[in-house]
Amino acid sequence: MSKSSMTYISSGKAKDIYETSNGNLLFEFTDRVTAFDGKKKAEYQEKGEITCRLAEYWFSILEAEGIPTHYINCPTPTSMLVRYLDIIPVEVIRRNYAAGSLLRRYDAGEVELPQGVEPEEGAPIPGGMIEFTTKFEAVDRPVDMKEILFNGWMSKEEIEYITGLTERINEILSCELNDAGIILADFKVEYGRTPDGKIILADEVGTPDGCRFWDKTEFENGTIKSLDKDVFRKGTGDLSIVYGELFERLQKQEEM
Ligand code: ADP
Ligand code: UDP
């Protein structure tokens, strides 16, 4: 399927989006990376291919485990065909450990940590926690159930449904990653509605753009070694090398 037979729709921060003649979407995973609401930007060789192949890897595993997703197939190493969805304007964040915006908001006095959780990067969150943020605003902001219901973004039953799916995704990813010596600290997922109103997993999942991955051995020795976009956010490493290492470790795990 050539791009000339498709309609260009838009470019997000990391992907270019096309519509196919039969109404599906084609994601072209680019080498672009952004952080801090688009203020920091760069391109890294092979990032597009690695994130596309990782998303494909996880979508296949999740589908096999019964999680409904928009994934169809990958016609090239950097592109993915997906079902067109009406995206729910709420991002879902699942945290196993304290990091990122949770700690920034705690420092600013905007959020309380679950009982017993230390206010430091790497502190475990017993039982984990789920947060919701806005999706289509200039800067994502946390939203609670009341605002989601008030705005009609989801019903109470739908919130419960996607919470359950996200918990299951967390279990599946955490288990696979653990076997590869990697901790899943947190991640973000998006959901959308099919024309018949069914809610399924959208966007990408399990990529280092949307998850925090920490090396387990280093963590047990008291150091956080990130295998994700934090190396770009914090300027602590070469993103291509780090993403490549993550991909190789998961590939090796798959071969075992
Ligand atoms: P962003 O700039 O939002 O981070 P990306 O570069 O990742 O975006 O581009 C993907 C865009 O496509 C996102 O806005 C996402 O919500 C949207 N999207 C993901 N899956 C689907 C789908 N199945 N149907 C319609 N839109 C989708
Ligand atoms: N995340 C994401 N897209 C967003 C916001 C967050 O993929 O727009 C991911 C992020 O990579 C991390 C998790 O969600 O794995 C939690 O992010 P957090 O709220 O801590 O914000 P951040 O520190 O990324 O600003």
- Structural domains in the chain plus CATH codes: 3-82 (3.30.200.20), 86-238 (3.30.470.20)
Q: Is 188 in the pocket of ligand 2 (CB under 6 A)?
A: yes
Whose C-alpha lies nearest to ligand 2, atom 2? 210
The per-residue pLDDT for 127 is 97
The pTM for the full model equals 0.97
The residue written with tokens 């589908």 in the block is: 63
Q: Is 192 in the pocket of ligand 1 (CB under 6 A)?
A: yes
The per-residue pLDDT for 3 is 76
The per-residue pLDDT for 33 is 98
Burial of 202 (0-12, 13-18, 19+ CB in 10 A): buried
Taking the CB of residue 191, how many other CB atoms lie within 10 A of it?
24
Ligand 1 mean position to 71 CA, how many Å?
A: 13
- Which residues, given as ranges, of the chain have pLDDT below 50? none
Q: Is 93 in the pocket of ligand 2 (CB under 6 A)?
A: yes
The per-residue pLDDT for 1 is 64
The per-residue pLDDT for 254 is 81
Q: Is 210 in the pocket of ligand 1 (CB under 6 A)?
A: no
Whole-number Å distance between alpha carbons of 54 and 60:
10
Mean pLDDT of the chain: 97
